[in-house]
Amino acid sequence: MPFTHTHTLEFSLSLSLTSLFFLLFSSHTARWMFTFASSFFAGTGTVSAKSVDVVSISFSWSEASQCTQPDGSANPTCTQYKMTSAQYVARTNVEFAKIGALGTTIVVSSGDEGALGNLDKCKSGAPFDPGFPASSPHVLTVGATMLSASVSAAAGPAAGAPSDPICKDNGGCATSKDEVVCSYPYAGITSGGGFSHFAPRPAWQDTAVSTYLKNAKLPPSSMYNASGRGFPDISVVGHNYAVYFGAVGGSNFW
């Protein structure tokens, strides 16, 4: 099966001995993650797991609806192999595990629709809808945080603080030390997270997730699978941060 996609940004940067390769997926990817993963592992596309150390994926879609594309049409792979969404996810996770075994790290966005997910789940009592591949236990899923408060532009830098050119250009910089989950309407997105419907919780998550389930204020347990793989794994600031625009080898990048 060919790896078909609508947009790929192909360039690599050398950082020590690490090669970084970035793949950007649109919501119209023809055969989705299984085709990407199997092609990437086999080396049948332009790159392979043998030559790339890190793959970054910002694409996400409903885990429970993997056999239905965003436009409502059927996922061709599910049709071809007569798969359910659960079977499709399980089979794709095998490919992700194989890629990881070769030493390639797959980094995935946790999504920007909160725990509710891509589909309209704002109805009271509706189960949450985790995104995939963010819910895979064989990827590194990254969520977004934000600073809960910032110094106003008029206030400028705090007394004694170094004057950063970026802060000067933008009339001030955020100085809050309170980091919280990135959430709408304070940010443009609500960072995704939750538990997989299909993939069981890995043993290495037991301690952290058990503590979280015991101490956090949570919605009714019927709305999520507490025994599933929890995500995200890590989080970084995803709102109100500096973006550098430049060029490497004649190719522009953000």
The residue that leads in pLDDT, 129 or 6, is 129
Cross-strand pairs, 62: 131
Angstrom distance (rounded) from CA 157 to CA 179:
19
Weakest-pLDDT range from 35-44, 53-62, 147-156, 236-245: 147-156
- Decide if 20 is inside a domain: yes
- Decide if 173 is inside a domain: no
pLDDT in tens, 87-128: 999 999 999 999 999 999 999 999 988 988 866 556 666 789
Phi, psi of 206, deg, nearest 5? -55, -50
Phi, psi of 229, deg, nearest 5? -60, 125
pLDDT recorded at residue 78: 94
pLDDT recorded at residue 31: 63
- Decide if 151 is inside a domain: no
- Decide if 106 is inside a domain: yes
- Decide if 141 is inside a domain: yes
Q: Are 39 and 45 in contact (CB under 8 A)?
A: yes
CATH code, domain with 190 = 3.40.50.200
Q: Are 85 and 129 in contact (CB under 8 A)?
A: no
Q: Which residues have CB under 8 Å from 234's CB, separation 6+?
A: 140, 141, 142, 143
Structural domain total, the chain? 1
- Structural domain for 214, as ranges: 12-145+178-253
According to DSSP, residue 190 is labeled B
- 21-55: burial string, b at 16+ Cβ within 10 Å, e else: bbbebeeebebbbbbbbbbbbeeebebbbeebbbb
- Decide if 7 is inside a domain: no
Angstrom distance (rounded) from CA 200 to CA 93:
12
- Decide if 36 is inside a domain: yes
Average pLDDT score over the chain: 79
- Decide if 248 is inside a domain: yes
First-to-last C-alpha distance (Å) of the chain? 32
